[in-house]
Structure 1
Amino acid sequence: MLLRQIIAFSLITLLVGCASHNALKYGTGADNQTQWKQHKDQLSNINYWQIDGKIGVHTPKASGSGTLSWLQRQDYYDIRLSGPLSLGTSHLTGRNGHESLAITNNGYLATVSLETLLEQQTGWKLPVSNLVWWIRGLPAPDSNSRIHLNGDSRPAMIEQDGWQIEYRSYVKQNGYLLPERIQLHSTDLNVKLVIKEWQPHKVK
C-alpha cells in the first residue's frame, strides 16, 4: 500500500508530452482572444525549465504536503519529490516511452507508460500527459477544453478531461507570465502547487 501511494503522488507531477490539435471553447472573460493567443504562443515555445516549489495532495482517505523540484529539457524530465504524505523521497527521470521511478528504501521501477503503471498500482486514471501543459497555464492539445480567462486574458481556470485547473496567481520571470499558485480538482483527488521559483527558457 505504501509503494502504491508513493507512485501515485509522484506521478501527479509527471510529464509525457504530445503534439496534436485541439478545439478550444472560450469561457467567461474571453474578450481579448488576440492577447490570449499571443500569450499561449509564447508559453508553448518554452521547452526547458527548472521549477522549485511545494505540493499538497488531498484524497478522501489522506492528505499531506511536500517539496517539488522539476527539471524539463525538451522531452526529458527529472522530477524529485520529497515528503508528500510523509512517504519519503521519490525520483522520476526519463523521456516519453522510457520512464523510471526510484523510491527511497523501496527500490526502482521502470515502465514504458507511467499512466499504465499508475492505474495498475492504484486504480487511478490520471491524465499525466496533460501536466506538462497545465503547469505552464496551457490546455493540453490532445483533447477538448474550456478556458475561463481573467481580466488580463490569462487562464483563471481550465476544464479538461474531467479536471478543473484553477490558476490563483501568476508571476513574471524572464519575460514570461507563468502560474505561481495552481489547484487541480477531480472527483476524488485535489492537488495544490505553489511554485517558489520558475526558470523558463527556450532551447533550440
Structure 2
Amino acid sequence: MPITRRLNLLVLAAAILAGCATPSTNRATVGAYRDSIELNGRLAVNYQKDGKTESLNGNFNWAQRADHVDVELVSPLGQTVATIAVAPGMATLTQAGRAPLSAPSIDGLTQQALGWPLPVSGLRDWLQGYAVDAQGQRFGASPANNTVVTRDGWRLRFVDWHDAAAAQPVPRIIHAERAAAGDIQDLSIRIVVNAAGQG
C-alpha cells in the first residue's frame, strides 16, 4: 500500500475514533433540580459606584426548601454580616444592630441594605447549575455548555465543577456579571461552593 494512502487511512481512522470517544464531560449535564438543598461557600464581589471600585469578600451559608430560603452572610473573620429569609411574597434582611428590613423583592432589598444586589432569587437555580435564559427558556449547564445570559440580565459562567467527569456534575465556581444594576456598574460576583447536600 502506498505510504500516502496508508497515512490518509490512519488520519481517517483517528478522526473516527475521536468522534466515538467523546469525553464524558461533554455529555455530562447537571442533575435534576432539587427543591431542598443545604450548602456553604465563599463570595467575592466587585463593582463600581460613584466612580469608585468596591470589593467585598466573605462566606455564606445557604438553606433552601421548596418555598423558603435562608441565607447567612459571614465576614472573613467569622462574624455574621446579615441574615436573609425569603418566603412567598415577603423577604426579610437583618443586619447586626439594625432593625430588620422587609420587602416583596429580595434582590431589591439586598441592594438597599448591602449597597449591592445579591441575586438570591437567581441563586436558587444557579447553585444547582440552572438558569432561565434571555428567551425565557430553562437552561441546564454542563462542563461543555457553561455560559448563559439570564432573563434579568446576568451573564453566568459555570467555571469549575466538583467532578466534571461525573454523570451529573455539581457546580463549584460560578462567575456572575452584570453591566448595571441601579447605581451599580460593572458588578461581578464570584461564587465558590464548598459543599452541597439534600435537605
Under TM normalisation by the shorter chain, which class is it? 0.5 to 0.7
Deviations 1:81-120 (A, max 9, x none): 0128x99610011312122111012221122222343566
- Gap change, CA 1:143 and 1:125, over 3 Å in 2: farther
**Bigger Rg over Cα:** 2
Among 37, 44, 48, the residue aligned to 2:36: 48
TM-score (norm 1): 0.64
The one-character-per-residue Cα deviations of 1:21-40 (angstroms, maximum 9, x if unpaired) are: xxxxxxxxxxx9xx57xx45
Deviates more, 1:57-66 or 1:163-172: 163-172
Q: Which has the higher contact order (CA 8 A, sep 6+)?
A: 1
The amino acid that maps onto 2:57 is S
Q: What residue number does 2:56 align with?
A: 64
User: What is the alpha-carbon distance in structure 1 between the residues aligned to residue 90 and residue 130 of structure 2?
Assistant: 24
Q: Distance in 2 between matches of 1:77 and 1:181?
A: 21
List alignment gaps of at least 5 residues for structure 1: 1-31
2:5 match:
none
**CA deviation profile, 1:45-86 (whole Å, cap 9, x unmatched):** x111111111010012200200110000112111000128x9
- What residue number does 1:167 align with? 158
1:59 alignment partner, SS class: strand
Which residue matches 2:87? 95
- Structure 2: gaps (5+ residues): 1-23, 180-185
Q: In the TM superposition, what are the counterparts of 1:185-196 in structure 2 within 5 Å?
A: 185-187=177-179, 188-196=186-194
Residues 111/52 of structure 1: CA separation in 2 closer, same or farther (3 Å cut): same
State the distance in 1 between where 2:172 and 2:190 align: 11
Percentage identity across paired residues of the two chains: 22
Aligned residue pair count: 160
Structure 2 distance, partners of 1:148, 1:79, is 23
